[in-house]
């Protein structure tokens, strides 16, 4: 029952994860694609509204300059016999065009003869660019502050007033210079243009406009940024194109979708090199894409739960026969029945039932054979001693037991002395008989839990557990007993032979905390025993002291 429920739960979880993963993947792909599309769409919109604004500013400047050129050709200015008439004309102009903050008519020396509301009449503007630059051609000056004029004009807001100059020469019928018609346009008209363009799109997205001068000074922007220099990489590119958009990092460290358009002028107005920038925070631009992704993920989660429930119910139908097989297997292991029942269900379940029945029968027949095979795999065929495979399996368990009992492992490498001459003289059969006798004597030297393994040829390894406090003395005692056991004559039927033994020993973990290194130290000790005259035992622990 537990296994069946586990399968059902896992299947349900798998379906839920699959549906959720597909929903996540779909949401991510759609969200990424939507983000790209939205970024391009919003970017183009920002570039378009930037162009709309800069084009509107250019057209307004050109139309005001053209209007003043028409006014400058009126007889009242070309033959200024009646200054009162000129003043009335200028007052009327300011009334009709509120963006004109001040307009005045000067004589050829720059003295203001008449002006709107009489402001600056009698004063000289002869040294100002608005007069000096307009004695031959139309002059359009960039945004600037006029401190004196700002004091004389009404200023309800109290903020610093900025102006744009438009002035032109007025000629008499004979072509002689009569004076200069000069005007200051209030820069507030640019903000009115901004609001007029911004209002329709502000309901859809949070957009800000900036007007940047030719020297990259901010002319129109939020109050705390006006007058600052703006450095954006995109400003270097906009000179090569009419308009563009890009994702830019602004001085506040945030990313914005940024649309830019450079002033191209209009008709005979060449423009002042202004750049209009429209920006929107990147997070706000991507908000619709995030909402779409969240919506997909939400519905994906709901569908994942529904499909998981459906999968759980369907899996229950198919796992019922599996529960019956499991129950029969439990009864079989308890000895209540001897075979797995044959079930009628789907083709796969029936095949599984038959396969398990055949498997049980096969396992019953092969159990004894497997036991024999396992024994052969772990023991030397000639001597019956454990082989290298058994040794590799034994060593980790011996380590654990020694650590638990605060003991050491004594490791002996043994190599028979004089075995080869006997093998050559009496033949391999005699050599095999000698090795079997050596194996018997080595076993007799061990205690319960110790091991002796044949490594190959006439090489053996003994592993003994000894107390840590008396590790070396006990190891030496076993080594001496082994030497004595192997030195006794061996009866080979018609002949008696004698062999010796060289032993190299090391203690784990006293000699090395690494078991492989300790085995290597024992092998080195065997080498020294061979060169010390053979038929002796040399321990690394004793040697190093």
d(Cα 76, Cα 60) in Å, to the nearest integer?
25
- Give pLDDT, residue 220: 79
The answer to whether 4 and 322 have CB atoms below 8 angstroms apart is yes
Q: Domain boundary at 224, 258, 285, which?
A: 285
Q: Look at the block and give the residue holding tokens 């460290």.
A: 253
430-439: burial string, b at 16+ Cβ within 10 Å, e else: bbebbbebbb
Residue pair 525/543 in contact by the 8 Å Cβ criterion: yes
Q: What is the CATH number of the domain that holds 366?
A: 1.10.8
Distance CA 161, CA 153 (A): 9
**Distance in angstroms (rounded) separating the CA atoms of residues 185 and 204:** 32
User: What is the domain-level CATH number for residue 281?
Assistant: 3.30.450.20
Q: Are residues 503 and 434 in the same domain?
A: yes
Residue 458 annotated among the catalytic residues of the structure: yes
End-to-end CA distance of the chain: 65
Same domain, 281 and 335: no
> Has residue 354 been placed in a domain?
yes
Task: Choose from 39-53, 75-89, 526-540 the range with maximum mean pLDDT.
Answer: 526-540
Q: Are residues 413 and 510 in the same domain?
A: yes
Residue (of 479, 476, 477, 539) closest to 510 by Cα position? 539
Residue 67 has what pLDDT? 84
Sorted by sequence, the CB contacts under 8 Å of residue 123 that are 6+ apart come out as 111, 112
Q: How confident is the model at residue 239 (pLDDT cuts 50, 70, 90)?
A: low
* Gap between the Cα atoms of 490 and 10, Å rounded: 67
Asked if 380 and 365 count as a contact pair (C-beta separation under 8 A), the reply is: no
In a domain, 313, yes or no: no
Both 329 and 422 in one domain: the answer is no
Question: Is 292 within a domain?
Answer: no
**Considering the domain boundaries, does residue 440 fall inside one?**
yes
Q: Tell me the CB-side half-sphere exposure of residue 24, using CA atoms within 13 A.
A: 7
List 458, 491, 511, 523, catalytic entry: 458
123 within domain boundaries:
no
Q: Do 264 and 398 reside in the same domain of the chain?
A: no
**Is pTM beyond 0.85 here?**
no
Both 426 and 540 in one domain: the answer is yes
Which pLDDT band, with edges at 50, 70 and 90, does 413 fall under? very high
427 & 528 share domain: yes
Round to whole Å and give the CA distance between 153 and 160: 12
Angle value at C-alpha 178, between 174 and 179, nearest 5 degrees? 150
Residues 398 and 534 placed together within one structural domain of the fold: yes
**How many Å apart are CA 15 and CA 309, to the nearest integer?**
9
Residue 169: closest CA among 140, 196, 137: 137
What's the whole-number average pLDDT of the chain? 79
One domain for residues 341 and 417? no
Domain boundary among 240, 259, 285: 285
List C-alpha distances in Å: 410 to 84, 246, 420, 481.
127, 76, 28, 14
Query: By residue range, what is the domain housing residue 410?
Result: 388-544
For residue 528, give the H/E element and its range.
helix 515-531
Please classify residue 456 by burial: count the beta carbons closer than 10 Å to its beta carbon, then call 0-12 exposed, 13-18 middle and 19+ buried: exposed
Distance, in Å, from the CA atom of 107 to the CA atom of 468, rounded to the nearest integer, reads 120
Phi and psi angles of residue 430, each rounded to the nearest 5 degrees, phi first: -65, -40
Q: Write the pLDDT tens digit of every residue in 352-392.
A: 667 776 766 666 665 555 555 566 677 888 888 898 888 88
Does residue 213 sit in the same domain as residue 277?
A: yes
The per-residue pLDDT for range 477-492, each reduced to its tens digit, is 999 999 999 888 988 8
Crossing angle between the packed helical segments 388-404 and 347-378, to the nearest 10 degrees:
90
Task: State whether 363 and 392 are in the same domain.
Answer: no
522 lies in some domain: yes
How confident is residue 266, by pLDDT bands cut at 50, 70 and 90? confident
User: How does 89-106 read in b/e, with b if 16+ C-beta sit within 10 Å?
Assistant: bbbebbeebebbbbbbbb
Identify the sign of the CA torsion 46, 240, 250, 256: positive
Number of separate domains in the chain: 3
């Amino acid at each position: 029952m537990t296994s069946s429920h586990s399968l059902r739960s896992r299947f349900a979880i798998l379906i839920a994860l699959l549906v959720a993963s597909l929903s996540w993947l779909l949401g991510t792909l759609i969200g990424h694609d939507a983000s790209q599309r939205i970024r391009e769409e919003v970017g183009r919109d920002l570039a378009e509204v930037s162009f709309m604004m800069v084009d509107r500013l250019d057209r307004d400047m050109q139309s005001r300059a053209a209007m003043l050129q028409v006014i400058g050709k009126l007889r009242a200015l070309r033959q200024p016999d009646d200054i009162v008439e000129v003043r009335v004309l200028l007052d009327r102009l300011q009334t009709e065009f509120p963006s004109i903050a001040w307009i005045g008519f000067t004589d050829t020396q720059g003295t203001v003869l008449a002006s709107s509301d009489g402001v600056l009449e009698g004063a000289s503007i002869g040294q100002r660019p608005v007069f000096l630059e307009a004695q031959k051609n139309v002059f359009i000056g960039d945004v600037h502050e006029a401190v004196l004029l700002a004091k004389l004009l009404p200023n309800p807001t109290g903020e610093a007033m900025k102006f744009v100059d438009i002035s032109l020469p007025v000629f008499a019928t004979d072509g002689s210079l009569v004076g200069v018609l000069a005007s200051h346009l209030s820069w507030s008209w640019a903000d009115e243009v901004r609001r007029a363009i911004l209002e329709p799109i502000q309901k859809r997205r949070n957009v800000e406009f900036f007007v940047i001068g030719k020297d990259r000074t901010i002319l129109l922007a939020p109050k705390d940024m006006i007058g600052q220099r703006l450095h954006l990489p995109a400003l270097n590119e906009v000179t090569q194109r009419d308009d563009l958009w890009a994702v830019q990092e602004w001085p506040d460290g945030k990313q914005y979708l940024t649309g830019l358009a450079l002033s191209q002028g209009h008709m005979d107005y060449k423009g002042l090199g202004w750049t209009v920038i429209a920006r929107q925070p990147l997070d706000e631009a991507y908000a619709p894409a995030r909402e779409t992704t969240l919506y997909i993920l939400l519905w994906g989660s709901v569908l994942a739960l529904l499909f998981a429930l459906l999968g759980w119910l369907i899996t229950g139908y198919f796992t019922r026969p599996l529960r019956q097989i499991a129950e029969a297997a439990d009864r079989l292991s308890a000895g209540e029945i001897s075979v797995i029942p044959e079930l009628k269900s789907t083709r796969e379940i029936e095949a599984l039932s038959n396969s398990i029945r055949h498997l049980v029968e096969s396992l019953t027949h092969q159990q004894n054979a497997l036991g024999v095979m396992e024994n052969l795999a772990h023991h030397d065929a000639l001597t019956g001693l454990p082989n290298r495979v058994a040794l590799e399996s034994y060593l980790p368990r011996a380590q654990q037991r020694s650590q638990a009992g605060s003991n050491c492992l004594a490791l002996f490498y043994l190599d028979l002395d004089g075995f080869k001459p006997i093998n050559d003289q009496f033949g391999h059969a005699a050599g095999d008989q000698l090795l079997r006798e050596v194996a018997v004597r080595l076993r007799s030297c061990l205690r319960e839990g110790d091991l002796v393994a044949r490594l190959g040829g006439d090489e053996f390894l003994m592993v003994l557990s000894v107390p840590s406090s008396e590790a070396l003395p006990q190891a030496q005692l076993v080594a001496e007993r082994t030497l004595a056991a192997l030195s006794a004559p061996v009866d080979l039927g018609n002949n008696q032979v004698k062999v010796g033994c060289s032993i190299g020993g090391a203690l784990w973990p006293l000699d090395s905390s690494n078991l492989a290194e300790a085995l290597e130290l024992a092998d080195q000790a065997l080498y020294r025993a061979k060169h010390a005259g053979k038929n002796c035992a040399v321990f690394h622990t004793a040697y190093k002291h």
